[in-house]
Amino acid sequence: MSKLLFLTHVGDPGGAEFKMINLCADLGDKAEVLHFQEGSLSANLAQKNIVHQVLPLPVALVSFKREQAFSKALPLLFQSLGFLRKLYSATRNYSAYVCMSQKAFVLMSLIKPFHRKPVIWFMNDLVSSEHFSPSLISLLTKLAKWSANHIVLNSQASYNAWIQAGGVKRNVEIIYPGTDFHVIEERIRNQEKIMELKEKLQVKEKFIVGLFGRITPWKGQEIFLEALSKIPDAHGLIVGEAFFGEEDYQRHLQELTQELQIESKITFTGHSDYVPEWMAVCDIVVHCSTAPEPFGLVIVEGMAAHKPVIASDGGGAQEIITDNVTGQLTPMKDAVALSTAINRYIENPVWAKELALNGYTRSKQLFSTQAMIDKFRLILAMHSIRAQKT
């Protein structure tokens, strides 16, 4: 009986890992997970009764960033031969492998000559010089030609970047990340929790504009604060926290609120397990990344929460939003344009509600978890990988 092994290098889940959890939950006992760092991912997997194990990655490989030249990683790989032997031992009894991160894909490619089984790679990023070093782009495109039996990209924008980088075209599929609409809708009906969060804000008779996601320069929190400073009747909500040594940027944002004299107009919640509920608190959900994103799941989540959405005009966001029909698109890094878009919603509540409904309807049709699962099962069938539940 066949069994798939999903692999990721992280210990704390991000968008790719939540996608993985949904795919594994659908496959039942036909799927297991191996991840390379300890963290909260284990609890998320256990909650869904997904069998999982941790094989700690050597510290040297953990610290390697995709912006670095691959030449710096080569010595680290030689130092990690013991880990590769452990990886082969831990993975050899599975019928196929689904890599959810670049590090997982590279490592499984290195041991593929020994296991010789199908490797499916979810490439969850835009392969461009804005995100990867040139040498790493070259490595990934070459490895894919040799070891990837199927590559899954998360938007047309990601596909275009992949082809432009010289990536292989054979067995490449676009599967949009899925959103659990029914879960979000159930949670935004939790009026008790929503009222509790509203009371924490202590904001009355103001429009609440929310920005959700990890605090990092390219997510555009600075642009958000500048836009907010131009809107007298709006209160800003930043839901998320800094990771990976970017705490200095979070401190910079706190200082910026003082410079802009908007300390009383902004709330930093830090990490929260109540993202849908916080979205329900908001009147408007914004996305203002300063570089093209491969997709932009938070945009869909805002739509699922029945909110009018504004997003940066680039990358996958252009596939989610039809400008002035299902939401608004604004130029990246343009705080003035963002403030104008927020004001348009504030001044035209009927139009804002219409766009929110359009966004919800279209996104539920295209970006649901079930649509993602159905496309993934077609890939398994294409490679004759048995994945029926027992």
Residues in the chain: 390
Q: Among the CATH numbers 3.30.70.1050, 3.40.50.2000, 3.90.550.10, 2.60.40.1180, which is that of 4-178+368-382?
A: 3.40.50.2000
pLDDT attached to residue 2: 76
The confidence score (pLDDT) of residue 388 equals 44
3-state SS track over 19-56: HHHHHHHHHHHHEEEEECCCCCHHHHHHHCCCCEEECC
- The predicted model gives 114-136 an average pLDDT of 88
Give the integer Cα–Cα distance in Å for 92 and 63. 26
Confidence (pLDDT) at 389: 44
- Picking from 363, 369, 187, 178, the residue whose alpha carbon sits closest to that of residue 278 is 187
**Longest alpha-carbon distance in the chain:** 64
Query: Is the torsion defined by CA of 163, 385, 44, 19 positive or negative?
Result: positive
Instruction: Identify the pLDDT of residue 59.
Output: 73
Q: Are 287 and 309 in contact (CB under 8 A)?
A: yes
Does the pLDDT at position 17 exceed 70?
A: yes
Judged against a pLDDT cut of 60, whether residue 73 lies above it is answered with no
Backbone torsions φ then ψ of 240, nearest 5 degrees? 150, 175
Q: In which residue ranges of the chain is CATH 3.40.50.2000 found?
A: 4-178+368-382, 181-366
Query: Which of these ranges, 69-78, 93-102, 242-251, 376-385, has the smallest mean pLDDT?
Result: 69-78
Q: In sequence order, what are the beta bridge partners of 234?
A: 207
Summarised one tens digit per residue, pLDDT across range 35-48 is 999 999 999 999 99
What tens digit of pLDDT does each residue of 319-341 get? 999 999 999 999 999 999 999 99
pLDDT band at 182 (very low <50, low <70, confident <90, very high): very high
SS (H, E, C) 258-312: HHCCCHHHEEEEECCCCHHHHHHHCCEEECCCCCCCCCCHHHHHHHHCCCCEEEE
Helix ranges (H only) for 202-244 are: 221-228
User: pLDDT band for position 384 (50/70/90)?
Assistant: confident
- Give the model's confidence band at 1: pLDDT under 50 very low, under 70 low, under 90 confident, else very high: very low
Say whether pLDDT at 175 is over 50.
Answer: yes
Whether the predicted pLDDT of 383 surpasses 90: no
Taking residues 51-74, report their average pLDDT: 69
Give 146-190 as a DSSP string: HH-SEEEESSHHHHHHHHHTT---TTEEE-PPPB-HHHHHHHTT-
- Please indicate whether residue 245 or residue 343 has the higher confidence score (pLDDT): 343
pLDDT at 244: 67
- What is the per-residue burial (b if ≥16 Cβ within 10 Å, else e) of 15-25? bbbbbbbbbbb
Q: Which amino acid is at 124?
A: N
Q: Which residues pair with 65 in a beta bridge?
A: none
Whether 110 and 143 have beta carbons less than 8 Å apart is answered as no
CATH number of this structure's domain 181-366? 3.40.50.2000
Q: How far apart are CA 177 and CA 200, in angstroms?
A: 32
Reference 64, options 128, 146, 18, 133; nearest CA is: 133
Q: How far is Cα 213 from Cα 285, in angstroms, rounded to an integer?
A: 11
